[in-house]
């Protein structure tokens, strides 16, 4: 079984606002990466970012599960990564929203040791802790 990146955090925003940030292509393009996401099971979309050696800057995704205001899950393949899974689960906590995040399926030494560390750093130290909350407060 592959390595997993996991994070639980709470946002001082209602679940509807967090859900919108996760499922609206304009919102997600602003706080994460340019994309064409649609919260419809089977929808294929891409994230586009800066390329570097071994990675063309495109992450190919497919929506796997959608439960409105509760769960969004999609595949994530790009560079050396093939069919990893990103999952956002939301729970209301009063007027706040608890987010349980997982990025799973890292296979092979390079992906388990190097790529997962790079992505974990981005998810933890930039995307979910800085960029998403900043987007939610605007």
The residue-averaged pLDDT of 52-81 equals: 96
Residues 96 and 126 in one domain: no
Q: What is the pLDDT of residues 85-114, one digit of tens each?
A: 999 999 998 999 999 999 999 999 999 999
Our count of domains for the chain comes to 2
User: What would you report as the CA-atom Rg of the chain, rounded to the nearest whole angstrom?
Assistant: 14
Residues 30 and 51 in one domain: yes
Residues 58 and 86 in one domain: yes
Give percent of the chain with pLDDT exceeding 90.
Answer: 93
The residue-averaged pLDDT of 59-80 equals: 97
The whole-angstrom separation of Cα 59 and Cα 1 is 22
Q: How confident is the model at residue 2 (pLDDT cuts 50, 70, 90)?
A: low
**CATH number, residue 23:** 3.30.530.20
Residues 69 and 112 in one domain: no
Residues 37 and 97 in one domain: yes
pTM: 0.95
For residue 80, which of 45, 41, 119 has the smallest C-alpha distance? 119
Domain span at residue 62 reads: 5-106
The whole-angstrom separation of Cα 28 and Cα 11 is 16
């Amino acid at each position: 079984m592959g390595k997993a990146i996991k994070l639980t955090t709470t946002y001082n925003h209602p679940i509807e606002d967090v859900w919108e940030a996760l499922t609206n292509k304009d919102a997600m393009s602003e706080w994460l990466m340019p994309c064409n996401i649609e919260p419809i099971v089977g929808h294929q979309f891409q994230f586009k970012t800066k390329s570097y050696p071994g990675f063309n800057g495109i992450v190919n995704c497919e929506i796997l599960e959608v439960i409105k205001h509760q769960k969004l899950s999609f595949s994530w393949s790009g560079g050396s990564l093939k069919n990893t899974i990103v999952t956002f689960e939301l729970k209301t906590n009063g007027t706040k929203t608890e987010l349980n995040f997982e990025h799973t399926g890292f296979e092979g030494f390079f992906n388990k040791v190097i790529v997962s560390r790079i992505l974990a750093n981005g998810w933890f130290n930039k995307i979910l802790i800085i960029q998403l909350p900043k987007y939610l407060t605007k």
